[in-house]
Chain A
């Protein structure tokens, strides 16, 4: 019997119209857990190096996490992976809500989709009954509207639907996949649209088995209660009305302008009123007591839900106020676009207009005010009309298509992906490494366990570390105690801190737990409910697999290194690992490159950021080394130029 997982993949070929239920090998679960870990393995093995993201051979994988469907609270992040036309690398995308657990209750750990349907279809899953159905009647429908229509069509309110809107249908690079009020960003909607897959509707009424039932239930209930009572998890932005941090520190417009004293009491009072006058309620995700999502009902616009910084991106890009975000977010949700990248694309276009690189002729009929312009350009982009057809390819690609100096306005991307609009003074070494080497494309998907800033007094630091259960190793307490000035920390410690930050995300994204109770949240307050010291036990109780901290750390290293190999196979090299040039005002190229080399060595990668054979073998990834050698990416004599064989799990 399989525990925690179902032991089955659902394999769909949309070109051939075939549907297969395929049993999986439990030994792979032990190596890659599930979620992103297993998806990386599948992408590495099954998608040849040169495959165009728009080729039918590209795969689109919807994965449950290993702990989905078990009593583990907040294990509900569905992971979507594919190759993105924007970055040409592995897309990493997550969405909360109810989809992943439902898929598991239907009897599948993941859906692997290849090929392209001749016309728009949707996938309908009810336990063993799986059908590819015509979706022509859903063409042009909004994303949650589609969910609603499918529930009616299938006469079942309990189906969980993930759908694309018009943006995905039109293969807009920023297209998202939406599920109720949750959204899968970072470049996956475009491939769903390319495969002509409008939606997936899933309903499951099967069992998920638990290896050690009573202990698992008890441990999970303890965590559940701790989560419900704690302020150290969930999204504090859902209730904290003081959002001075983002508004005073992040850049407005096309990630360009900082307004240092923007926030005021009067503004906070007004915005709070807007929110509470229009908020229906706060909701959350499957089996989680937190309420991170604010659901807003703005007059005349579709209802929508938002989390975190998602409420700021549109009005900051447009130099407007919160009411504008509230006005446009519901519309953007129905079209299905990434609310982090899209406002930047629009602000970029408006900058080009101001600079004379684009002219009024490129924007026929565009209103004069910022509000009107954003709505105008959103419409153009999701329909790929006129200039929208170029902008729909994201900032980086649009800049190259437009030419004529537009490239210089593409100043906030890394690996061709729009970054958070952060423009600061002095280089922060840990953030340099995270943005440079991260393969999850957004800093929010990389940072999160070690605090962003030191605490001012030794007493405060002491109080912090005394209750810090999340540290994988006591040494991190020492680092924190001795840390006084933000950038004043040794490179070795920086590498270890970045590694720990990454570790938690790679684990979350493989077991399906939410970053707000785990990987992302420890940096604020330290007291996250999930960490390296309790996750191994939970995995062991749920699955019956042997698991302890050292094993889990090695599993993180294996998955992380495999993701690197997946991308290296597609051409990722050192030259691509650069934060935006103006991310910090003061830069030191020589120091940065030295630090990057040190981090590569720490990870067991060579000077190009390619994992060495020695590293790969230590992580049971011999087949990866073989393939990279065959492809001429690793040379056979390059047995391990790494300064230290990091892969030793004993380090933790």
Chain B
């Protein structure tokens, strides 16, 4: 099936000067992804985390991206307006070097799904609750690159790794859950 040549890119713009580190976004993301919806609050399960260091005046809202099995061997240190930020402060990977973006109980990686839901939200939940406008939502059209379909073998290699890491039960459970959500 030919894919349309344009795609919609959903973007959350982050103005770190405006972020107060209030973590309302963490609260709301965890509520939105609870089952049943809003039934439990647990910022540790949020797909957005505030990398905050009040003492050094660092407040970076960070959105959960992909899982990575190993941490970087080298990191940049960014100097922005006279303050030092580790590259990790801008990296959304759920990574063994820290406990951001992993399910606290199962250890499985968490990933931002842009609050995909039926019916769709007008704006992602974290954006809706951010009272300081540190987070704003934009949709942008972008040319789609011709995507190479992965070969079956590649998927299996990836799965094999996850099975090693977490055991077959945990992986099967999250695959089922993922399938349920995606097909819903």
Contact = CB atoms under 8 A, between A and B. Distances in A.
B152 interface: no
B42 A206 contact: yes
A217 B57 contact: no
B132 A181 contact: no
Interface in B81-125: 99, 104
Contacts of A204: 44
B28 interface: yes
Interface in A156-198: 156-157, 180-181
B154 to A, nearest CB: 33
A210 B40 contact: yes
Contacts of A71: 27-28, 31, 38, 41
Interface in A205-233: 205-210, 213-214, 216-217, 221, 224-225, 227-228
B39 A213 contact: yes
Given A157-B52, A207-B42, A288 B24 contact: yes
Nearest to B36: A213
Contact of B131 (A213, A225, A286, A305): A225
B12 interface: no
Contacts of B63: none
Interface string A275-293: 0000011111111111100
A213 B31 CA distance: 9
Contacts of B132: 228, 289, 291
Contacts of B173: none
A303 B83 CA distance: 14
A284 B31 contact: no
B24 A289 contact: yes
Given A181-B54, A210-B39, A291-B132, A105 B24 contact: no
Contact of B42 (A180, A208, A297): A208
B39 A209 contact: yes
Contact of A289 (B22, B34, B37, B57): B22
A230 B57 CA distance: 26
Given A144-B55, A217-B31, A224-B24, A207 B41 contact: yes
Contact of A228 (B27, B43, B131): B131
A286 B17 contact: no
A98 interface: yes
Nearest to B25: A287
A144 B56 CA distance: 11
B54 A221 contact: no
B41 A210 contact: yes
Contacts of A208: 40-42
B22 A224 contact: no
Nearest to A147: B55
A183 to B, nearest CB: 13
Contacts of B42: 105, 205-208
A297 B81 CA distance: 14
Interface string A245-287: 0000000000000000000000000000000000011111111
B53 interface: yes
Given A148-B55, A280-B57, A291-B132, A73 B24 contact: yes
A465 B75 CA distance: 59
B41 A157 contact: no
A208 B128 CA distance: 21
A257 to B, nearest CB: 36
A70 interface: yes
A68 B52 CA distance: 20
B100 to A, nearest CB: 9
Q: Which of B31, B41, B99 has the most CB of A within 10 A?
A: B41
A69 interface: yes
Q: Which of B42, B51, B131, B132 has the most CB of A within 10 A?
A: B131
Contacts of B24: 73, 224, 287-289
B128 A287 contact: no
Contacts of A280: 57
Interface string B1-38: 00000000000000001001111100110010010111
A295 interface: yes
Contacts of B53: 157
B57 A221 contact: no
B129 interface: yes
Contacts of A295: 54, 57
A209 B31 CA distance: 10
Contact of A283 (B34, B39, B54, B104): B54
A209 B132 CA distance: 27
Interface in A556-588: none
A69 B20 contact: no
A217 B131 contact: no
A291 to B, nearest CB: 5
B20 A210 contact: no
Given A224-B24, A281-B17, A207 B40 contact: yes
A205 B27 CA distance: 12
Contact of A284 (B20, B36, B40, B99): B20
B124 to A, nearest CB: 14
B131 A303 contact: no
Nearest to B17: A281
B25 to A, nearest CB: 9
B18 to A, nearest CB: 9
Contacts of A98: 23
A608 to B, nearest CB: 45
A148 B52 CA distance: 12
Contacts of B21: 283-284
Nearest to B24: A287
A290 B51 CA distance: 19
Interface in A287-344: 287-291, 295, 297, 303, 305
A73 B41 CA distance: 13
A621 to B, nearest CB: 33
Nearest to B104: A205
Nearest to B28: A71
A287 B27 contact: yes
Closest 7 CB pairs of A and B: A289-B131, A228-B131, A205-B44, A213-B38, A205-B104, A207-B40, A217-B38
Given A208-B40, A210-B41, 12 more contacts: A71-B41, A156-B99, A157-B51, A206-B44, A209-B39, A221-B128, A224-B131, A228-B132, A283-B59, A284-B22, A287-B24, A290-B131
